[in-house]
Structure 1
Amino acid sequence: MLLQGSCHCGAVRFELESPHPYPYQRCYCSICRKTAGGGGYAINLGGEYATLKVEGESNVSVYHAVIDGKPSSGERHFCSRCGSALWVYDPSWPELVHPFASAIDTPLPVPPERVHLLLDSKANWVEPDTRPSDKRFDHYPNESLAEWHERLGLVR
């Protein structure tokens, strides 16, 4: 699926191909929550880094979170004009890019279930809205984005 996205002010526009476009993972870690999570979590999608095309790249800044006293290799891209979170890229997995669902302008499919990640890091005011089919993980699930899509028959 071709995903098109932008920041709030329009200074940055981007597109990429995503074999995994369902916005099902809600991450409650402090990094996602504080940089992109208005509801106390952020939703990341999966995309193919080789297909990422960016307009307005001069307006993109990168934040490296500090984890256990060391800068993370993960690059959190955001608009330097309006602060909109755009995507995460980590050179440890050079074929992948993870756009934030909140930056995507393309209508996204509704996921048949959700996964709640890193609930042990959630803010105390957050009460996850879960339904019976949702899965909850204090850490990362054993299932990858691709495996989740395959298990539910969502691969095209």
Structure 2
Amino acid sequence: MQLEGSCHCGAVTFQVDSPHPYPYQRCYCSICRKTAGGGGYAINIGAKADTLQVTGAEHKRIYHARLNGSTSSGERHFCGTCASALWVYDPDWPELVHPFASAIDTDLPVPPERVHLLLDSKASWVDPDVGKHDKCFEGYPEESLAAWHERLGLVR
């Protein structure tokens, strides 16, 4: 599925192909929560890095989070004008890019279940909205984005 996204002010727009477009993972870690998660979590989608096309890249900035005193290799791309979170890229997985669902303008499919991850670092004020079929994890689940889509027959 081709996804189109943008920042709030429109300075940065992008397109990317995603075989895994369901916005089903809610990440409660402090990095996602503080850089992109107004509801106490952020949602990333899986996409193919080699298909990413960006307009207005000169307005884009990159943030490398600090983890236990070390700088993460993950690149959190955001608009330098309006600060909208756009996508995460990690050179450890060069074939992938993870757009934030909040930056996607294309209608996304509704997931049949959700995964709530890194609940061990959620903010005390966050009360996760866990559905009947949702799965919850204190850390990372073993099932990847691709495997989740495949298990549910949702690969596009």
Answer yes or no: is 1:119 the counterpart of 2:116. no
Aligned equivalent of 1:101: 101
**C-alpha distance in 2, partners of 1:131/1:20?**
21
Deviations 1:3-24 (A, max 9, x none): 0000000000000000000000
Query: TM-score scaled to structure 2, two decimals?
Result: 0.99
Aligned equivalent of 1:57: 57
Amino acid of the structure 2 residue aligned with 1:24: Y
Identical-pair percentage: 74
Moved over 4 A (4+): none
**C-alpha distance in 1, partners of 2:109/2:132?**
20
Q: How does 1:64-79 map to 2 (within 5 A)?
A: 64-79=64-79
User: 1:142, CA displacement in angstroms?
Assistant: 0.4
User: 1:155, CA displacement in angstroms?
Assistant: 1.1
Amino acid of the structure 2 residue aligned with 1:20: H
User: 1:152, CA displacement in angstroms?
Assistant: 0.3
SS at match of 2:113: coil
Amino acid of the structure 2 residue aligned with 1:73: S
Aligned equivalent of 1:22: 22
Aligned equivalent of 1:128: 128
Answer yes or no: is 1:34 the counterpart of 2:34. yes
Amino acid of the structure 1 residue aligned with 2:47: G
Amino acid of the structure 1 residue aligned with 2:31: I
User: Which ranges in structure 2 are unaligned for 5 or more consecutive residues?
Assistant: none
User: 1:148, CA displacement in angstroms?
Assistant: 0.1
User: 1:37, CA displacement in angstroms?
Assistant: 0.1
Answer yes or no: is 1:44 the counterpart of 2:41. no
Aligned equivalent of 1:85: 85
User: 1:131, CA displacement in angstroms?
Assistant: 1.1
**C-alpha distance in 1, partners of 2:7/2:83?**
8
**C-alpha distance in 1, partners of 2:91/2:131?**
35
Q: Let me know the Cα RMSD of the aligned residues.
A: 0.4
Aligned length: 156
**C-alpha distance in 2, partners of 1:85/1:96?**
17
**C-alpha distance in 1, partners of 2:15/2:139?**
30
SS at match of 1:42: coil
Query: TM-score scaled to structure 1, two decimals?
Result: 0.99
User: Which ranges in structure 1 are unaligned for 5 or more consecutive residues?
Assistant: none
